[in-house]
Amino acid sequence: SQSGIITDEAHADARVVEVRPARLQAVLAEGKVAIVAGFQGVSRAREVTTLGRGGSDTTAVVLAAALGAAWCEICSDVDGVWSADPRTVGSAEKLDALTHGEALALARGGAKVLYEDAVRYARDHGVVITASATFGPGSGSRIGAETRAVRVAVAGDAQLRRVVLGDTGLEADLAAIGAAGGRVRRVVGARLYVDVRNAHGGLAGLATARDEGPTAMVTAVGSALGEQPGRVLAASRAIGGLAVRASGSEGDVAWWEVDPADLAEATRRVHAAF
């Protein structure tokens, strides 16, 4: 909170609205190394807030933007961004480079090495991210370069709930989802797919919407993938033996809703199809 990150008032899932890095700039001007506690900020009402899932990554990107850094390096237990989670898909390949848009689509699709708010802020403020391993050698991945990923990448997300909106109470239901810590990932007609990672108390307080329970989704991301019906159809056929509840494609993205128990197998099959 002393680094100058100002947020809105959503305490457990706050969004950055302004950065005042004067104190940090003064420390750096003295030739010192600044160590900043991530994941937190101060609201406009001067209350301490937390930045939600991936908040430490968001802190790093926000400060990189405010300081005009050449890039922001984020380290994890995986060397860069892969075409799928290598712990689930043995044939996954590391992506040397991908655009902010591709990275954001993967983050929203459940990729564990990327966090949505950090990537979105990097995209909006022109920050290049390098994702690499904390320990050991590796070339990592560069996010933000003009070069697109060389192959389709696939992510799976089992922390979703399917919510169907009623004919009335729309604003109240959307407010209740946000207040509970849920984030809408996809909208299909009156059906919402809600990320409940931060909704620790569940989706309480819905007015007329119906919570139909947990679900999972496989998301594939590639240049103009959603406009290539032949490739999307091939992937759909690859998971034809599983219970596919819904699917769709648009722009650079194709997606399939599956039973949570089938997510790992569906992810492997979709990855193999591309």
pLDDT, tens digit (0-9, with 9 covering 90-100), for 97-149:
999 999 999 999 999 888 999 999 999 999 999 999 888 777 899 999 777 88
Could you report how far apart the first and last alpha carbons of the chain are, in Å?
44
Predicted structure pTM score: 0.89
Every domain of the chain with CATH number 3.40.1160.10 lies at 5-143
Q: Is the pLDDT of residue 1 over 70?
A: no
Q: Can you give 5-18 as a three-state secondary structure string?
A: EEECCCHHHCCEEE
Q: Nearest to residue 239, comparing CAs of 222, 213, 220, 214?
A: 220
The helix/strand count (H/E) of the chain reads as 7, 16
Average predicted confidence (pLDDT) for the chain: 91
Q: What per-residue confidence (pLDDT) applies to 41?
A: 86
Q: What per-residue confidence (pLDDT) applies to 138?
A: 77
| pLDDT tens-digit map of 30-72 | 999 999 988 888 888 888 887 877 889 999 999 999 999 999 9
Every domain of the chain with CATH number 3.30.2130.10 lies at 153-273
- Looking at residue 91, its amino acid is S
The answer to whether 145 and 97 are in contact (CB under 8 A) is yes
CATH superfamily of 153-273: VC0802-like (3.30.2130.10)
In the chain, beta strands by DSSP E: 5-7, 16-19, 40-43, 48-50, 72-76, 81-82, 94-95, 97-98, 129-133, 141-143, 153-164, 183-188, 191-195, 210-221, 244-250, 253-258
CATH label, 5-143, candidates 3.40.1160.10, 3.30.1490.20, 3.40.50.880, 3.40.50.300: 3.40.1160.10
